A and B are shown apart, each in its own frame.
Chain A
Amino acid sequence: MSFPWAREYQPTNGLMKFLDEKLPLPRLIYGAIGAGYPVPRNLSYMWNFGVLAGFCLVMQIITGVVLAMHYAPNALVAFATTEHIMRDVNWGWLMRYAHANGASFFFVVVYLHIFRGFFYSSYKAPREMIWLLGVVIFLLMMATAFMGYVLPWGQMSFWGAKVITGLFGAIPLVGEPIQVWLLGGFAPDNAALNRFFSLHFLLPFVIAGVVILHIWALHIPGSSNPTGVEIKTEADTLPFHPYYTAKDGFGLGVFLLFFLGMVFFLPNFLGHPDNYIEANPLSTPAHIVPEWYFWPFYAILRAFTIDFFFIPAKLMGVLAMFAAILVWFFLPWLDKSPVRSGHYRPLFRIFFWILVVDMAVLFWLGGAAAEEPYVMFSQLATAYYFLHFLVILPIVSSIEKPKPLPYSITESVLGSDKDTAPAAAN
């Protein structure tokens, strides 16, 4: 990789030598997540979530493939086959609860991963490409999760599909033909269910592909770290294995305790009761809400209640909802502060925590009924969301006076860096 001191793979036995000559797969693994990848020595537990997200993806694919063996994507029997999995398939209930809660926990760790990136400005040069690919992964995850939620063909599946595909109907002129084309009909039915199943099976593998690019791009500059100071010497780094494999192993254990606690003791807590009612096109639920991980963006979608001059309210909401995620693509160029870590950016740090609160408020309001005063709160929270990324961040990054940075990662960990620091005071 890019560090001259990165250890090189040395095959130790004949089989590995043979493999290394013909297909250097062990070498690839060694360099990617083995002792051949030097990582900053000061990573905190906030750096565990990438590995956890990878674990979630693998777990979702495995449980999902098993579920697909027993599920039938047909509007007549989809709900019944889901119950068949819950009742008659050996350990089917475990597979389904693990898959449904696995989606939620995938989003939990990815949101933490993203907010880690916000705080430590992980998106800044030279890591822009990692960030851009990360946002692509997030968008793909949203599409996959949305289509997966439709498959059990409960009331929220059906009405969620109707509302979300209805968003495309807001596009001027071509909106309605696009909506009909996407659904394969005028309302969600067998055609929609079939294509959603097909795409829900496909997209996780597309995600896996982009994850490989994400990790590849990460290995060019190497991992960021809590000080935001770049690696200077070998003393600043530790090999990924065994140091971070051990740390991630412990992190994975803690994650599993939370995740399995949910699966075995509160498996329906994050779901909606209406999805245990079979889809009925003639009966609209009182409140249509998506899964919790979409709530902030759903709150933004619903915040636009009246037309803005010639732009219809619905179109405005759709534009804002997509813009709320697309704005993340521009972060590397909106935040021009030369300092990465929020620890050394006093003003930025305040606004970061306001953003966290704002996001939490949007979470709450996205799940609340579309009634006053919730709608007014969500309008204020939406306004702050856009102002934060597009106005506050660029301004703060140019007027802020950052605190002094440590000379090196080693100095921040040990208190001094005798090997490389220029003649220090002591």
Chain B
Amino acid sequence: MIRLFGILTGLFFAVAVLWSFGNGAFVAATEGLGEATAEKVFYEHPEELDLPSNGVFGTFDEAQLQRGYQVYKEVCSACHSLKFVAFRDLAQLGYDEGQIKAEAASFQVPGIDPATGEATTRPGLATDYFPSPYPNTVAAAAANNNAIPPDLSLITKARHDGSAYVHSLLTGYSEPPAELTQQFPNFTTPPGLNYNRYFPNLNIAMAPPLALDGQVTYGEGNPEPTVDQMATDVAAFLTWTAEPTLVKRRQTGFAVLGFVLFATILAYFAKQQVWAAVKPKKAAKAKD
């Protein structure tokens, strides 16, 4: 009885889902599998980016992180916040206490006037977090053609291909290619938006932030600040902001895995020894 009921139930679900399948197949046969769009054809996946922090043995390059921080501070921070990073965290980039205090003080953070109790701003302290360039999201949207610049603290974890995406996006601006306008005459880049082949719908609100080689002046002994170099450096910096514990995590991992591997080998031999007496003897088994 239960099996008869089961068979009927099974057939019910199978027929119902095949009904949907038939409909989908009919639509696919008569109308095809959806049209090609400019986004599908011309969107490109980020190019691989070789950073010192890549790979299981990768480590951060302090000089590069400092350059990336400089790019963030002089370019990105005009529109993008970095709200989960505190000035004190900059110690991990190799800055000393005095430099961190000076960096913090170069930013104005929201404060309260001790005399009147009114909202005001004050120079940042090492314990403060990077302030947002806008008082609130409404102001951010108003200043940016209704697109709110995302916080950058976690951006390399919040996008597929992380640092490679940041680097490709920053260097991926161009005019729409001629083939695109030929193939999709209806495709336009509306005013206020910019064509970028690494952005999923090809039109991004952010204007090219790194437009000129030498836009940021790097100190002595650093590579030439080309657009590509600046984009690479800031991608490295944002890899660090997304996960400051990255290198520590991997180093801990090697120690832990080494220990567990050793323990597992011991456990294997312990198991073999315990089982030795009750395992069938191969010779005896062959005789039978």
Contact = CB atoms under 8 A, between A and B. Distances in A.
Contacts of B275: 243, 246-247
A415 B280 contact: yes
B274 A243 contact: yes
Interface in B1-40: 2-3, 6-7, 9-11, 13-14, 16-21, 23-25, 28, 33-34
Contacts of A353: none
B153 interface: yes
Given A267-B249, A416-B288, A394 B7 contact: yes
Interface stretch (A27-35, A116-124, A375-383): A375-383
A260 B245 CA distance: 16
Contacts of A250: 264, 267-268, 270-271
A11 interface: no
Given A333-B2, A379-B21, A86 B245 contact: yes
Interface string A239-259: 000110011011011101100
Contacts of A416: 288
Contact of A83 (B6, B10, B84, B159): B84
A409 B198 CA distance: 62
B17 A303 contact: yes
Interface in A323-339: 323, 327, 330, 333-334, 336
B267 A323 contact: no
A10 B158 CA distance: 59
Given A87-B244, A304-B17, A336-B3, A414 B285 contact: yes
Contacts of B17: 303-304, 320, 379, 382-383, 386
A390 interface: yes
Interface stretch (A138-146, A201-209, A272-280): A272-280
Contacts of A306: 19-20, 23
A376 B25 contact: yes
B200 interface: yes
A391 B10 contact: yes
Contacts of B159: 273
A162 B285 CA distance: 61
B261 interface: yes
Nearest to B253: A264
B264 A375 contact: no
Contacts of B158: 273-274, 276-277
B253 A303 contact: no
B115 to A, nearest CB: 30
B40 to A, nearest CB: 10
Interface residues of B, number: 60
B6 A313 contact: no
Contacts of B91: none
A273 B157 contact: yes
B271 A390 contact: no
A83 B261 CA distance: 31
Contact of B278 (A238, A256, A320): A238
B10 A390 contact: yes
Main secondary structure of the interface of B (DSSP, over half): helix
A264 B288 CA distance: 50
B73 interface: no
Nearest to A386: B13
A273 B160 contact: yes
B56 A308 contact: no
Interface in B249-288: 249-250, 252-254, 256-257, 260-261, 263-264, 267-268, 270-271, 274-275, 278, 280, 284-285, 288
Contacts of B7: 390-391, 394-395
Q: Which of A246, A323, A327, A387 has the most CB of B within 10 A?
A: A246
6 contacts: A311-B16, A336-B3, A372-B33, A375-B24, A383-B18, A416-B288
Interface of B: 2-3, 6-7, 9-11, 13-14, 16-21, 23-25, 28, 33-34, 56, 84, 89, 150-151, 153-154, 157-160, 162, 200, 242-245, 249-250, 252-254, 256-257, 260-261, 263-264, 267-268, 270-271, 274-275, 278, 280, 284-285, 288
Interface of A: 41, 80, 83, 86-87, 93-94, 97, 238, 242-243, 246-247, 249-250, 252-254, 256-257, 260-261, 263-265, 267-268, 273-274, 276-278, 286, 303-306, 308, 311, 313, 316, 320, 323, 327, 330, 333-334, 336, 371-373, 375-376, 379-380, 382-383, 386-387, 389-391, 394-395, 413-416, 426
Given A260-B253, A330-B6, 17 more contacts: A87-B84, A238-B278, A246-B274, A253-B263, A260-B256, A278-B151, A304-B20, A311-B16, A313-B20, A376-B21, A376-B24, A379-B18, A380-B21, A387-B10, A387-B14, A390-B6, A391-B11
